[in-house]
Amino acid sequence: MPPIASSPSVAARMSRQSSRDTAQELAVRRLLYASGLRYRVNAKVPGLPRRTVDILFLGPRVAVFLDGCFWHGCPDHATSPKANAEWWRTKLDRNIARDHETTAHLTAEGWTVLRFWEHESPEEVAHTVHDLVVARRSLRHRSPTQT
């Protein structure tokens, strides 16, 4: 059961938090699309219910997550609310554990998982993702005599 908001302004702010199509996600997706890459958005994690990947490349098996600093425990920018502190600590710790579980699951299934923080430059994120996806695609298309 979620805690009662400590003030009306906190309740309003939290209700506006987007879990998808954040500014960073939109910026990265625009850059990837402009570079010629096509992908799935908010795709279900294969084999894990109620989990989604922000940007998914099926063929090269690359899963990209763009994590918010507060919600996912950024070591540089995460904060801990003082109101309802115990509830929030439990909630945020579960988020981090779920991230680790999702990454481990996808990796075990042969996926390459990339995780970025919301404060990272969309241009740098898109460049890293682009280079990896292109490299993975070229590996898939090599014939056995080329390896």
Asked whether residue 145 is domain-assigned, the answer is no
Asked whether residue 90 is domain-assigned, the answer is yes
Residue keyed to tokens 């070591």: 75
CB count within 10 Å of CB 68 equals 19
Farthest CA pair distance, the chain: 66
pLDDT of 142: 65
pLDDT of 5: 57
- Distance between CA atoms of residues 134 and 50, nearest Å: 29
The whole-model pTM stands at 0.83
What's the domain range around 66? 29-137
- Distance between CA atoms of residues 63 and 57, nearest Å: 6
Asked whether residue 115 is domain-assigned, the answer is yes
139 CA to centre of own chain: 24
Asked whether residue 44 is domain-assigned, the answer is yes
pLDDT of 88: 86
Interior/surface letters 28-45, b for 16+ CB within 10 angstroms, e for the rest: bbebbeeeebebeeebeb
Confidence of residue 109 (pLDDT cuts 50, 70, 90): very high
Asked whether residue 85 is domain-assigned, the answer is yes
Domain count across the chain: 1
60 CA to centre of own chain: 17
112 Cβ contact partners less than 8 Å away, ≥ 6 residues apart: 60, 61, 62, 63, 132, 136
Per residue in 23-54, pLDDT tens? 999 999 999 999 999 999 999 998 898 999 99
What is the CATH number for 103?
3.40.960.10
Please, what is the average pLDDT of the chain?
87
Asked whether residue 142 is domain-assigned, the answer is no
